[in-house]
Structure formats: C-alpha cells, structure tokens
Amino acid sequence: MAVIVAFTVLGAFFVQNTLADATSANLAQETELIAAALDEQQEPIPFLRSLDREDLRITLINKDGSVAYDNEASPAMLPNHGDRPEVVEAFESGSGSAERSSSTLDEIMLYRAVRLDNGQVVRLAQAQPGVAAILLSMVAPMLLIAAAGAVLSFFLARRESRAIIAPLQEVDLDHPRRSYEHAYAEMVPMLERIESQRQELKRQMAVLADNDRMRREFTANITHELKTPLTAISGYAELIANGMVEGEDDLRNFGGRIYREAGRLAALVNDILTLSNLDEAERATEGEAVPIGSTEPIELSRAILTVEQRLEQVARQANVTISHETKPVVIEGVSRLIDELIYNLASNAIRYNRPGGTVTLQCGTDDEGHPFLAVADTGIGIAPEEQGKVFERFYRVDKSRSKARGGTGLGLAIVKHAALYHHATLDLSSELGVGTTITVTFPVQQDEPFA
C-alpha cells in the first residue's frame, strides 16, 4: 500500500509536468498563429471576437498596459496588465511566457504573450489541472487497483506461506535428524543444534537420575552406618544403666565396646564432613571461599612416614608388614587432605590384606616430572568388574571383612575427591589373589601454588 501511494503521488507530478509541457508548446503555437493573423487585420478586435475559443482566454493589451480586449471580461473592469511578467517580456523581446497557480491549488494557468507589429501584445491563457486535481482524479482507479492487489496478494501469500511452512510442520523435534531430508538447507544448522541440545538434555537427565540414585543410596547407607554404632552404644549403655552388669570386668568390657563404637561413629561423622566439604569445593565458583584449608608446601616422604607410624600398631595387629620406599618430593596442597588421602589408602591396604602380607608406601617423581605417591599391597585384590566402583561411597569389595575391621566405606571416596581437589589423577592396578597398587599422580608443580 505504501508503494502504491508513493507511486501515485510521483505519477501525479509526472503527469502534471508532461501535460504542462505539451500544453505550453501548443499554447505557444496558437499564440504565434493568432499574432500572425492580427498583424494582417486592420481591425483586430472584430477578428478576436470572431474566434470561438472557450478553452482559451484571449487578451489584447495596449502599449501602456491597458486592456483593449478580453474574451472573458470587460476591458474596463480589468486592471493594467503592463506589470505581468509575460507581458513585460513580450514588450522587451517580442514574446514571453509564465505559469501561475490558481487560488484553489487544483489548477495552474499557462500564459503566452507575443508583441504585434503595431506595438500591442496579444496574450493567450489556458488552464492546466494541478497535482491535486490529478491526484483526485486518480483516487478511484488507485483504490480499485489497491483492493484488487490486496485480494490477489492475500491469496498468493496464503498459498506461498503454506508451501514455505510445510517443511517446518514436518520437523520431528523429538528426532531432528530424521527431518534432514525434507528440511531446507538453512534449517539444518538449527536442527543440528536442537539435536545437540536434546542429547545434552538426555545426558543431564541421566546424570540427574544417577545423582538421585546415589543420593538415595547414600541416605540409606549413612542411615544404616550411623544406626549400627548408635544401637550398640545405646544397648550397652542401657545394660549399665539398668544395673545388669556383673562385676568390674563386665563394666570395663561394656565401656570399652561403647568407646570403640563411639570412635567408629566419630570417624564416620568426620569422613562425612570431609566429603561434604570436598563436594562443596568442587561445586564452588572461582573466588568463593570453601572451608577446606590453606595450601602449603608438603614433603610427601615426611607425610608418608607420619602415616606409617600411626598405622604400625594396626598393621601389627593384622599381621601385616608396613614399609616405605620414598624419595624427596614437594607438592603444593592442603596438608590435612593429603594426610587423609595417604592414611585411607594405607588403612585400606592393611584392612584388605592377608596375614603375613605387606604394604609399601612410595613417593617420588616420574619420568615426566610429575610428583606421585603410591600404596602397594599383597592383599586379596579387586576383580576387574569391581575396580571402577571401589571409589564410590560405601562400596566395599569384601563387606564382611570391612565390617569386622571397622571400615566406614568412605575412605576411597575421600581419596578420589581429595585427588580431584589437587588436580591429581588416580590409577588402580589390581589382580585377584596377588594384590593392589593405587597411584596418585600430581600435576607438575609450579613456582606458585594452585588455587
């Protein structure tokens, strides 16, 4: 519609200019003819009166500018025409022309004047439709054209839009790749993006489902693990409170059992808090404070010796020999986490060992300059199908042995998350009936500690 209006206005100006040029040329010719005829007449006014031209206004002007004759008005009623541009030009050069708009703006007047041989000037004037008049004359046909164009455009656009939308309606958003054959080439990147996002959503849903399963399993396990020592403590305490203990020996026996179960409970709570802090640290954004501890230089060989001394008595009771093969190596890390990592690895190696077996604590630097620590044992080993599960929370390779030795099932989970916190990698090598070696490899140490 905007284009139609614009072209209508421009067309009106073009038509008006074209008609004006044609009318001016025709008016000039007629003026020259009438002037030539008047030059041959002895009495010009009778001749002018004999001309029957209602479409032209003919005026004869004297040398002083007064009107001698006008075919539309009485000469006495007309003002002096000596100052009219076309008349002034005709007196000076022999001919003149001018164009003036009417007061109603819907037409213009074209004037042509020629000087006669006797000094008078004959002037012809003709009305020419203006732009407004031409526009008004074009309104009706333009409205009809616009209406016809609108109807035609509606049906054409409806048909074309249906044809364009058809491939879009056939897209299967649940399986975008199936729509590649019938889709526009421009749609393929969008479909690929949808497919990628769909796969990512499926992956995230699987992760969420797995996390929910782990949460439920963790809740069930932690409830069971907390309930077991609490039940024992409550039972022994109830016996003591009800006076059902006979003699000092039974009292000390029950007190010792309460002490051991309380220690087991405290260890479990401590492991849960450690894991909770590590989980929070892994989810924390950059710059967010997490209560894990400050990093500092740690001499791995010294940390290994400290753990070895703490576990010597436990190893002796289990008839296991614990030793070390260390080389000086320093890493940047959280001392408490490194200590727990080494302790849990060594404690597990003792717990799942054989009578007369050995546990070897090692540290040093590999061929690529990576600091490492390793714990090797000659224990029962881990089956290949279980090696990927041992770092899960509350997972036990031998549940009866772990229960008997007081394991919480969180030790290797702490090892895994402590290694992740230090950007280290874990490697497990095990063979049933031969033993297990777990190696923790740290990044090459920089001059400045990692965050």
Please write the tens of the pLDDT for every residue from 231-248.
888 888 888 888 777 778
**Does pLDDT of 426 surpass 70?**
yes
**How confident is residue 358, by pLDDT bands cut at 50, 70 and 90?**
very high
Lowest mean pLDDT among 103-112, 236-245, 416-425: 103-112
- Residue 370 belongs to domain with CATH number: 3.30.565.10
Q: With b meaning 16 or more CB within 10 Å and e meaning fewer, what string describes 421-434?
A: bbebebeeebeeee
Mean pLDDT, residues 190-204: 84
Q: Is residue 58 part of a domain?
A: yes
Among the candidates 105, 136, 167, a domain finishes at 136
Q: Where does 62-164 show beta strands of DSSP type E?
A: 67-70, 95-101, 107-115, 121-129
pLDDT in the model for residue 27? 87
CB 128 within 8 A of CB 110: yes
Domain that holds residue 276: 188-283
Q: What pLDDT, in 10s, does the model give residues 284-332? A: 655 555 557 788 999 999 999 999 999 999 999 999 999 999 999 999 9
Are both 277 and 410 inside the same structural domain? no
Q: Is residue 166 part of a domain?
A: no
Quickly list DSSP for 387-409.
Answer: TTTTTSTT--SSHHHHHHHT--S
Spatial neighbors of 267 by CB under 8 A, at least 6 apart, are 406, 408
Are both 431 and 326 inside the same structural domain? yes
Spatial neighbors of 423 by CB under 8 A, at least 6 apart, are 442, 443, 450
Q: Is residue 448 part of a domain?
A: no
**Does pLDDT of 405 surpass 70?**
no
Q: Is residue 16 part of a domain?
A: yes
Among the candidates 92, 107, 136, a domain finishes at 136
For residue 177, the 8-state DSSP code is G
Are both 248 and 345 inside the same structural domain? no
CB 355 within 8 A of CB 322: no
CB 349 within 8 A of CB 398: no
Average pLDDT, the chain: 83
Token pair in block for residue 28: 């000039």
CB 96 within 8 A of CB 118: no
More confident residue, 210 or 418: 418
Are both 239 and 337 inside the same structural domain? no
Mean pLDDT, residues 420-426: 90
Mean pLDDT, residues 198-218: 80
pLDDT in the model for residue 241? 83
pLDDT in the model for residue 360? 95
Q: Is residue 155 part of a domain?
A: no
pLDDT in the model for residue 295? 84
**How confident is residue 449, by pLDDT bands cut at 50, 70 and 90?**
very low
Q: Is residue 412 part of a domain?
A: yes
pLDDT in the model for residue 279? 72
Are both 234 and 370 inside the same structural domain? no
Spatial neighbors of 349 by CB under 8 A, at least 6 apart, are 359, 375, 376, 377, 379, 436
228: nearest Cα among 398, 415, 409, 413 = 409
Spatial neighbors of 320 by CB under 8 A, at least 6 apart, are 350, 353, 354, 355, 356, 357, 358, 359
Q: Is residue 447 part of a domain?
A: no
How do 371-377 and 435-441 pair as beta strands?
antiparallel
CA–CA separation, 29 and 35 (whole Å): 10
The CA–CA distances, whole Å, from 70 to 40, 124, 273 equal: 20, 10, 117
Question: What percentage of the chain's residues is helix, strand, coil (to nearest 5)?
Answer: 55, 20, 25
Residues in the chain: 451
- Residue 128 belongs to domain with CATH number: 3.30.450.20
**Does pLDDT of 14 surpass 50?**
yes
Token pair in block for residue 115: 């000087």
Quote the longest CA-to-CA distance of the chain.
169
Are both 214 and 320 inside the same structural domain? no
pLDDT in the model for residue 101? 76
Q: What pLDDT, in 10s, does the model give residues 129-153? A: 777 777 777 778 878 888 888 899 9
pLDDT in the model for residue 224? 66
Q: What pLDDT, in 10s, does the model give residues 38-78? A: 888 888 888 888 887 888 889 999 999 999 999 988 988 99
Quickly list DSSP for 332-352.
Answer: EEEHHHHHHHHHHHHHHHHHT
The three-class DSSP label of residue 296 is strand
Percent of the chain with pLDDT over 70: 87
Domain total of the chain: 3
Are both 4 and 130 inside the same structural domain? yes
Percent of the chain with pLDDT over 90: 30
- Residue 242 belongs to domain with CATH number: 1.10.287.130
Are both 247 and 354 inside the same structural domain? no
**Does pLDDT of 23 surpass 80?**
yes
Are both 269 and 194 inside the same structural domain? yes
**Does pLDDT of 401 surpass 60?**
no
Are both 114 and 28 inside the same structural domain? yes
Are both 194 and 129 inside the same structural domain? no
Residue with tokens 């969008």: 190
CA–CA separation, 239 and 259 (whole Å): 15
Q: Is residue 76 part of a domain?
A: yes
Distance of CA 55 to the CA centre of its chain: 73
CB 381 within 8 A of CB 438: no
pLDDT in the model for residue 448? 44
Mean pLDDT, residues 121-128: 89
Are both 309 and 202 inside the same structural domain? no
